[in-house]
Amino acid sequence: MSKAIEVGIIMGSKSDLPVMKDAAEILDQFGIGYEINIVSAHRTPELMFDYAKNAHSRGIKVIVAGAGGAAHLPGMTASLTPLPVIGVPVKSSNSIDGWDSILSILQMPNGIPVATVALNAAKNAGILAAKIIGASNPDVLNTLSGYMEELKEKVLDSAKDLK
């Protein structure tokens, strides 16, 4: 039986995939179903409009949107959907050290929030998506608690290794 798709992972171009696959990998680890697609705000705006407006009716609960350069995909998606959107700024080949992407996603006007993670931090976007889903899903919440305990143990083990 396949998992229900609860997270939509979208990116502006195929060149964003090496970053955005980290969100997919962590969602796999947490047992959360997702879909992944290329949806460009600039080159396929009709596709972006359709995706954003209809994702909730297909069972999506959170959208993770990654984009580089001008990085309009997360904000435009957020303006069209009632779902939470997590933006992943991607340092692209034409980027200004990633700052253009960070600021394009971070500096949204009041009324159109986009949760924004660090540059290239799609793994954190996946974890945040899992936390949003975990707020109403005890199984995901328990998996997240175990993940956090593993992080704690790694730090404690590292501290022991220093002594």
Annotated binding site for substrate: 13, 16, 43
Sequence ranges of the binding site: 13, 16, 43
- Pairwise CA distance, residues 51 & 91, whole Å: 24
Mark 32-43 as b/e (b = at least 16 C-beta within 10 Å): bebebebbbbee
Quick check: 120 and 92 in contact, CB under 8 A? no
At 65 the three-state DSSP class reads strand
The amino acid at 126: G
Quick check: 20 and 88 in contact, CB under 8 A? yes
Residue 8 pairs in a beta bridge with 35, 63
Q: What is the DSSP letter of 64?
A: E
Query: Tokens at residue 128, please?
Result: 């945040």
- Pairwise CA distance, residues 49 & 75, whole Å: 12
